């Protein structure tokens, strides 16, 4: 049985289950991405993986690392802005959920903003 022939809810024989896990090891994909891509449940995947690894303990290849998530941060650089200029209505959202929101009025001096953001201007 090929990995692309997997049908959820159909009982796998030992040979089919082991063939699926061998397919996973050769795919070089992360576990979650691999079994979700087939529509396989986490429980089914790990049941077969543990059985396979128990029988092939000495020669079991290491599980490939999951692909890293793409970076969602955009580097920002302030160029040639006088420190006396007033910034109005800015919002900065950090990855940890913290939001720095400054209203449009009265605004904030660029020097003060740089101090808040710890930028060198």
**DSSP string covering 20-49:** HHHHHHHHT--HHHHHHHHT--HHHHHHHH
Residue 49 CB burial class (10 angstroms; 0-12, 13-18, ≥19) = buried
User: Residue 91 — φ and ψ, nearest 5°?
Assistant: -135, 125
Average pLDDT score over residue span 21-46: 87
Does the pTM surpass 0.85? The reply is no
Q: 117 by DSSP, 3-state: which? A: helix
The yes-or-no verdict on residue 3 having pLDDT over 50 is: yes
pLDDT confidence band for 76 (50 / 70 / 90): low
Q: Is the pLDDT of residue 17 over 70?
A: yes
Average pLDDT over residues 69-93: 67
**Cβ proximity of 89 and 103 under 8 Å:** yes
How large a percentage of the chain has pLDDT more than 90?
A: 3
φ/ψ bin of 62: left (φ > 0), alpha (ψ from -120 to 50), beta (otherwise): beta
Quickly state the pLDDT bin for 46 (edges 50, 70, 90): very high
């Amino acid at each position: 049985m090929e990995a692309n022939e997997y049908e959820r809810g159909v009982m796998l024989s030992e040979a089919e289950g082991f063939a699926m896990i061998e397919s996973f090891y050769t795919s070089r994909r992360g576990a979650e991405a691999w079994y979700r891509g087939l529509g396989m449940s986490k429980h089914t995947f790990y049941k077969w993986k543990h059985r396979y690894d128990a029988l092939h303990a000495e020669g079991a290849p290491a599980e490939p690392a999951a692909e890293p998530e793409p970076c969602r941060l955009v580097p920002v650089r302030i160029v040639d802005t006088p420190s006396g200029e007033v910034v109005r209505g800015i919002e900065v959202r950090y990855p940890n959920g913290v939001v720095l929101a400054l209203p449009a009025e009265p605004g904030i001096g660029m020097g003060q903003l740089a101090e808040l953001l710890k930028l060198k201007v």
